[in-house]
């Protein structure tokens, strides 16, 4: 149900959230938990913060406050997990975290003090995400997806070891991370607070974050910094328990890996609830050697997405549901179930910049990323112009661009890309060719 009355500055912040590809449908429940997370004055400030990560002086100018006061306010919002606070090219910048994976999880992950009423937030999140369907329908249908499954490396047959790519390995993500933190599992923690603890009694201290996100969460006491060895110990522990690794859908600069159970995990439950959309699966699938299968049902019990059933005493895998996590293979006593390599590789964005740009194109919100200073009148005009152009069919778009002498628009977009390049870690246009897909096709 949509909201029917105004909510002051929280309305403005809601509109700001919905300028991004991953929005937050404006229901009464949304406003209830925003009121727990933020004061109305904080919501007002956040409603005008740009999409692109901003240094303190720029935010101070937008907010019309001193740099000292602005820094205090930004620090407070980063303490709450609403903002990400990182240093890029020696400059401290802040950006608004998305709802998920972002400030919703961070509000329940904090390890060193109670900032919020977690029981109340858990109840509201459960209502917003699991009962109401607007947010889930939007989130789990984003293209590209915000998340992806990572295969259990120990389950990969020797024949495919030379084919697996670095970004498919959880171990590689850990080994190459510049910072790693561990925090409380949002999903199982939320379930515990609403009186539905994990029926498998899976651990909560296993949520891993990496790189810039980890630096911000560590700095602001939301997660605890750990070593690479400790992270590998977490990974080995959860694999032994049969948990699935669900991570950030990028090849480079991965921000997080959750260790998920099929009973509590938002991503896995969303996958099952919204029709097993094949955009989070690995490049593998489970296959059964019928002669070796005893029909014991262990693989069926262990599968986190209900992709296996027993038919005439033999395990049968539904390839339309299988995400290729490899959990089933780990517990098959007769080794009758193994992993095969899919013929077509799953597309994985090179980094978060590419993923967000593609999501913006698919949701019709690219104009919001190009012109992201909503306090500027000229930006608002250009934003509307671009929104109009991007919605046109290709032929009409070409005609309009010619009439408007689109060299101006092209130059403006190039300028935006240049600015973004200065602020985004690891930005390299040459990396977006995706040679791994071309090589496979050939």
Q: Same domain, yes or no, for 389 and 424?
A: yes
Mean pLDDT over 277-305 rounds to 94
Q: Same domain, yes or no, for 320 and 196?
A: yes
Q: Tens digits of per-residue pLDDT, 13-46?
A: 999 999 899 999 999 999 999 999 999 999 999 9
Cα gap 110→222, rounded to integer Å: 4
CA distances from 439 to 28, 166, 434 (A): 49, 15, 9
Residue 366 within any structural domain of the chain: yes
Residue 151 within any structural domain of the chain: yes
Query: Whole-prediction pTM value?
Result: 0.86
Share of the chain above pLDDT 70, in %: 82
Q: Same domain, yes or no, for 273 and 373?
A: no
> What's the pLDDT score for residue 124?
98
Domain span at residue 167 reads: 139-341
Q: Same domain, yes or no, for 159 and 57?
A: no
Q: Same domain, yes or no, for 163 and 277?
A: yes
> What's the pLDDT score for residue 3?
47
CATH number at residue 83: 1.10.10.10
Residue 346 within any structural domain of the chain: no
Q: Same domain, yes or no, for 175 and 223?
A: yes
Q: Tens digits of per-residue pLDDT, 123-176?
A: 999 999 999 989 999 999 999 999 999 999 999 999 999 899 999 999 999 999
286 φ/ψ angles, rounded to the nearest 5 degrees:
-85, 140
> What's the pLDDT score for residue 399?
58
> What's the pLDDT score for residue 110?
79
Residue 128 within any structural domain of the chain: no
Task: Among 48-52, 216-220, 289-293, 303-307, name the one with the lowest average pLDDT.
Answer: 48-52
Q: Tens digits of per-residue pLDDT, 56-67?
A: 999 999 999 999
> What's the pLDDT score for residue 367?
73
Residue 183 within any structural domain of the chain: yes
Q: Tens digits of per-residue pLDDT, 79-113?
A: 999 999 999 888 899 999 999 999 999 999 876 66
Q: Same domain, yes or no, for 335 and 360?
A: no
State yes or no: cis peptide before 101, omega within 30 of 0. Answer: yes
> What's the pLDDT score for residue 410?
52
Q: Same domain, yes or no, for 241 and 191?
A: yes
Residue 127 within any structural domain of the chain: no
> What's the pLDDT score for residue 421?
46
Q: Which of 73, 95, 112 is the last residue of a domain?
A: 112
Burial class (CB in 10 A: 0-12, 13-18, 19+), 235: buried
Mean pLDDT over 255-280 rounds to 91
Q: Same domain, yes or no, for 169 and 312?
A: yes
| Predicted confidence (pLDDT) at residue 419 exceeds the cutoff of 50 | no
Residue 320 within any structural domain of the chain: yes
Residue 121 within any structural domain of the chain: no
Cα gap 442→438, rounded to integer Å: 6
Task: Among 51-55, 156-160, 299-303, name the one with the lowest average pLDDT.
Answer: 51-55
Cα gap 284→165, rounded to integer Å: 12
Q: Same domain, yes or no, for 245 and 226?
A: yes
Q: Same domain, yes or no, for 254 and 370?
A: no
Q: Same domain, yes or no, for 245 and 289?
A: yes
Q: Which of 341, 376, 406 is the last residue of a domain?
A: 341
| Predicted confidence (pLDDT) at residue 231 exceeds the cutoff of 60 | yes
> What's the pLDDT score for residue 428?
44
Share of the chain above pLDDT 90, in %: 70
CA distances from 152 to 37, 45, 173, 359 (A): 36, 43, 13, 27
| Predicted confidence (pLDDT) at residue 442 exceeds the cutoff of 60 | no
Q: Which of 322, 341, 360 is the last residue of a domain?
A: 341
Q: Tens digits of per-residue pLDDT, 337-377?
A: 999 999 989 999 998 888 987 888 788 887 777 666 656 65
């Amino acid at each position: 149900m949509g909201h029917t009355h105004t909510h002051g500055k929280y309305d403005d912040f809601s509109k700001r959230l919905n300028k991004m590809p991953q929005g937050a449908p404006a229901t009464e429940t949304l406003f209830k938990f925003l009121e727990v997370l933020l004061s109305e004055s904080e919501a007002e400030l956040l409603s005008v913060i740009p999409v692109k990560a901003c240094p303190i002086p720029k935010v101070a100018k937008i907010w019309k406050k001193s740099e000292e006061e602005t820094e205090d306010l930004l620090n407070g919002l980063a303490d709450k997990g609403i903002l990400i606070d990182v240093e890029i090219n020696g400059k401290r910048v802040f950006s608004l975290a998305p709802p998920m994976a972002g400030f919703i999880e961070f509000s329940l992950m904090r390890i060193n003090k109670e900032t919020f009423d977690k029981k109340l937030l858990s109840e509201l999140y459960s209502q917003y995400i699991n009962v109401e369907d607007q947010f889930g329908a939007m989130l789990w249908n984003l293209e590209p997806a915000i998340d992806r499954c990572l295969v259990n490396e120990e389950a990969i047959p020797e024949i495919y070891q030379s084919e697996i790519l670095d970004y498919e390995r959880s171990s590689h993500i850990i080994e190459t991370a510049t910072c790693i933190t561990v925090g409380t599992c949002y999903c199982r923690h939320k379930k515990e607070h609403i009186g539905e603890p994990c029926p498998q009694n899976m651990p909560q201290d296993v949520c891993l974050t990496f790189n810039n996100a980890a630096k911000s969460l560590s700095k602001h006491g939301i997660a605890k910094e750990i070593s690479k060895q400790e992270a590998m110990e977490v990974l080995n522990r959860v694999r032994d328990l049969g948990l699935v690794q669900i991570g950030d859908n990028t090849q480079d600069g991965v921000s997080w890996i959750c260790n998920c159970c099929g009973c509590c995990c938002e991503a896995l439950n969303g996958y099952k609830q919204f029709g097993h959309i094949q955009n989070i699966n690995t490049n593998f699938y489970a296959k059964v050697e019928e002669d070796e299968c005893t029909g014991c049902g262990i693989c069926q019990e262990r599968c986190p997405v209900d992709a296996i059933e027993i038919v005439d005493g033999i395990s049968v895998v539904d390839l339309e549901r299988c995400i290729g996590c490899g959990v089933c293979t780990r517990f098959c006593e007769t080794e009758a179930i193994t992993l095969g390599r899919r013929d077509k590789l799953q597309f994985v964005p090179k980094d978060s910049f590419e993923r967000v740009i593609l999501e913006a194109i698919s949701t019709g919100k690219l104009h919001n990323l190009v012109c992201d200073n909503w306090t500027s009148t000229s930006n608002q005009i250009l934003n509307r112009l671009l929104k109009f152009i991007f919605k046109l069919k290709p032929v009409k778009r070409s005609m309009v661009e010619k009439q408007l002498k689109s060299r101006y628009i092209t130059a403006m977009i190039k300028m935006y890309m240049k600015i973004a390049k200065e602020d985004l870690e690891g930005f390299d246009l040459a990396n977006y060719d995706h040679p791994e897909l071309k090589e496979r096709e050939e």
